[in-house]
Structure 1
Amino acid sequence: MPGLRRTGSGRDVDASELITRVAASGLRGRGGGWFPAARKWVAVRVEGGEPLAIANGAEGEPGSIKDRHVMTTRPADVLRGLVLASRAVGAREAIVFLKQSFDAPAAALEAAVRTTDLGGLGVSIRRGDDSYITGEETALLEALEGRRPWPRPKPPLPAAVGLQGRPTLVQNVETLARVPAAVDDPDAYGAHETTLVSLWGDVRRPGVYEVPLRTPLRAVIDRYGEGALEEIGLVFPAGPSAAPLLADQLDVPLHPDDLRAVGSALGTAAVLVVGASACPIGVGASLAAFFEREACGQCPPCVQGSRNLSRVMRAVEAGEAWARDLSDLAEAAGFMADHGYCAHSRTAAAAVTGLLRRVPAAVSAHLAARRCPHGGAVRDPFHPASPERAAIEAALA
């Protein structure tokens, strides 16, 4: 497939043509937002000055291993893409930013820097702390400038005011690894585009797979994960970062636009499968607890809002909530959706309320029974020490 195959260097293609080819390929960012790569490049280039390019390898989404996979197994492709992206925006310096614990990706990239033709681009490997929020593009800039990795208010965007005030391209490492193929043959890339999927949870073979876009989600689970371990209850196409789907919705294509149309998202494609034996409200409480735990502490609406989401979800799970508590949750979520320096607040609100909308019968049963009537084992897949996360991390090793 042309998505991550080896290609020519593209070294004879000038900046304008690079942008034209990437735009024609339809390449979109794989950091979670699926923003068109060429538009991001143009936004940096038009600023002039002394731009800088940063490859964002600070992967942190629960269940996602695809960025570490590509940095470890295809480091030269990441660097080739970084060279092309830097030329497109006019940067002569570039940084690859990783989390402190990412020893194997760092070693692979450092070796590739010594052996890859960088065309005169100065590339350094930098590492920051392991906090979840460090992967947010402006928190990453704060970390590189020696401050606490808290997201910056926007505007301005990094394209205008980035590292040390310079126009800065911050691009996900998987996106960069796809750039050489997109430049080499834009039509072929667009016609046969793939994406890396971290498939985890209740599947027979957790792991990272290169999957053609618009493959039905059910086929991703069956073909790549060798099927679910039990009857499917919920599937989270974006890990914790969007509302889940029910078992009867799995014919939806694996594509950000198709998933958005059914009230979910693709995000970093950390596809979590949850079996029907798990209480969906308990999984929702795990989801809310994740957002509370990973709030960086900077924005009061996010800190207090995520705390309220988690409190209400725990109460619903235990059968201790009342209808007014759900009204409080909806009010908190509505406020969170419009506030905060980064996407954490609105993502938490959308994911938790989206889950509740999927399972109204389970919510009603908990409120009526004054206990969890599901009878299943307690599941906390988003916790760092969960068996689900341990299994997908083992697949990376």
Structure 2
Amino acid sequence: MELTGETRLFTREPMDLAAELAAGTYGPVIRDDLIAEIEAAGLRGRGGAGFPAHVKWRAVAANPGPRVVVANGEEGEPASRKDRWLLTHRPHLVLDGLLLAARAVGAARAVVYLSHADTVAAVEAALAERPPAMPVDVHVVAPTYVAGEESAACRSIGGGPALPLAKPPRVCDAGVDGRPTLVSNVETLAHAAWIARHGAAAYRGQGTPGSPGTTLVTLSGAVAAPGVYEVPFGPTLAELFDVAGGFTGTPAGFVMGGWFGGLLGPRHTGLRVTYEDVRAAGSGLGCGAVTALAADQDPLAVAAEITAWYAAESAGQCGVCVRGTAAIRDAFAALRDGAASAKDRADLARWGETLPGRGACAFLDGAAGWARTVLTEFEGVTI
């Protein structure tokens, strides 16, 4: 597969208002039913879960107002840079998407939720350039992984701590200040703005029937030119990394979907980068970040490092998450050090199956995914 075709979001240089006007890409294009258009386009959220965007939009629109829309640019995923890149290079496209989403769901308030100084500066500069329209608030939060979870975002914007809440209620029913709230990743909103301008059929002109369109990816690790790229869905992992100059050696595996998707073995170079194919392989696309492990990297050492990060980043609200992430961390550390018992391996296998879905948010699921994928993918993992 040759990765050719138009880039819809990607630009080499940041685009201010003058650049967007010159390119003919500035300003929200109003469609009578944008929700129906993004449904026809098959747009999925780019924040991690890959949930059909129109479902969330419709759920918020169906609830009585006043409603709120939030552009979520709090990129706490260590392996991802695509949201920061988008906010600093195409802030007007994100703002167009935010205003279109507000109109589509009938929101009275719009908020951009950020955690990095460069994105705050870029968004505030873009807002200063735009003619008066619906007021947009910029809310800044300290960068943590869990701060990007949608209920944590709503809680922070409402004046509370940036920590997840148990569900129900979902934020589409009761989010910011108890109001129905649409929390949408900034890349999702940028694609929605593109769809409003060009239509669902054009959006489906790239990608696959099940995973249409293009997506931003962050490629890192054993790759010639790490960075953010825009690609259509459908290439193999090997073809994806060719966009960044190819592997710098034979990869030892792939950290998928940021640190949330676990670890796939080197046999997956032919895996197609679509939601359905990656899910069938036991992982997930998540935020679109993929790290290729170098040939000399020990998968157990990588798993021990990342699960230690999970234990440190836990919000500390759910006992099962605090205990579960710490136990997974300790078991992988023992495996890495050659000090594990048969019980450690059995426990990891069990936790990989039983812990997902137990916390207030999906954070624990990510740690459990490492237990499941490492033991499944690497035959050489022995006690």
Matches within 5 A, 1:69-108: 69-99=85-115, 102-108=116-122
Contact 1:160–1:166 (CA under 8 A) maintained in structure 2: yes
Deviation at 1:10, TM superposition (A): 4.6
2:37 equivalent to 1:4 = no
What is the rounded CA distance, in whole Å, between the counterparts of 1:262 and 1:131 in structure 2?
28
Contact 2:30–2:196 (CA under 8 A) maintained in structure 1: no
Question: What is the aligned length?
Answer: 358
What is the rounded CA distance, in whole Å, between the counterparts of 1:280 and 1:218 in structure 2?
19
What is the rounded CA distance, in whole Å, between the counterparts of 2:150 and 2:274 in structure 1?
23
What is the rounded CA distance, in whole Å, between the counterparts of 2:334 and 2:125 in structure 1?
51
What is the rounded CA distance, in whole Å, between the counterparts of 2:372 and 2:154 in structure 1?
31
2:353 equivalent to 1:339 = no
2:204 equivalent to 1:190 = yes
The DSSP-based 3-state class of the residue aligned with 1:211 is strand
Q: Deviations over 1:96-115 (max 9, x none)?
A: 0101xx12211111111122
Compared with structure 1, are the counterparts of its residues 281 and 339 closer, same or farther at alpha carbon in structure 2 (3 Å cutoff)? same
What is the rounded CA distance, in whole Å, between the counterparts of 1:116 and 1:358 in structure 2?
50
What is the rounded CA distance, in whole Å, between the counterparts of 2:229 and 2:261 in structure 1?
20
Name the residue aligned to 2:17.
Answer: none
Q: Which runs of 5+ in 1 are unaligned?
A: 368-397
2:326 equivalent to 1:307 = yes
Deviation at 1:261, TM superposition (A): 1.0
Give the letter for the 1:288 counterpart: T
Name the residue aligned to 1:288.
Answer: 307
Deviation at 1:117, TM superposition (A): 4.7
Q: 1:53 aligns with which of 46, 61, 69?
A: 69
What is the rounded CA distance, in whole Å, between the counterparts of 1:278 and 1:97 in structure 2?
36
What is the rounded CA distance, in whole Å, between the counterparts of 2:261 and 2:371 in structure 1?
8
What is the rounded CA distance, in whole Å, between the counterparts of 2:299 and 2:356 in structure 1?
23
What is the rounded CA distance, in whole Å, between the counterparts of 1:11 and 1:226 in structure 2?
36
2:86 equivalent to 1:67 = no
The DSSP-based 3-state class of the residue aligned with 2:172 is coil
2:144 equivalent to 1:131 = yes
Q: Deviations over 1:61-95 (max 9, x none)?
A: 11100000000000000000001111011012100
What is the rounded CA distance, in whole Å, between the counterparts of 2:300 and 2:312 in structure 1?
18
Greater mean deviation of Cα atoms: 49-58 or 108-117: 108-117
Compared with structure 1, are the counterparts of its residues 226 and 242 closer, same or farther at alpha carbon in structure 2 (3 Å cutoff)? same
What is the rounded CA distance, in whole Å, between the counterparts of 1:10 and 1:135 in structure 2?
26
The DSSP-based 3-state class of the residue aligned with 1:149 is coil
Contact 1:27–1:190 (CA under 8 A) maintained in structure 2: no
Matches within 5 A, 1:187-336: 187-192=201-206, 193-222=213-242, 224-336=243-355
Contact 1:301–1:335 (CA under 8 A) maintained in structure 2: no
Structure 1 stretches of 4+ with a deviation exceeding 6 A read: none
2:27 equivalent to 1:13 = no
What is the rounded CA distance, in whole Å, between the counterparts of 2:353 and 2:277 in structure 1?
24
What is the rounded CA distance, in whole Å, between the counterparts of 1:44 and 1:287 in structure 2?
35
Q: Deviations over 1:20-55 (max 9, x none)?
A: 111111111100011111111100000022001000
What is the rounded CA distance, in whole Å, between the counterparts of 1:36 and 1:338 in structure 2?
20
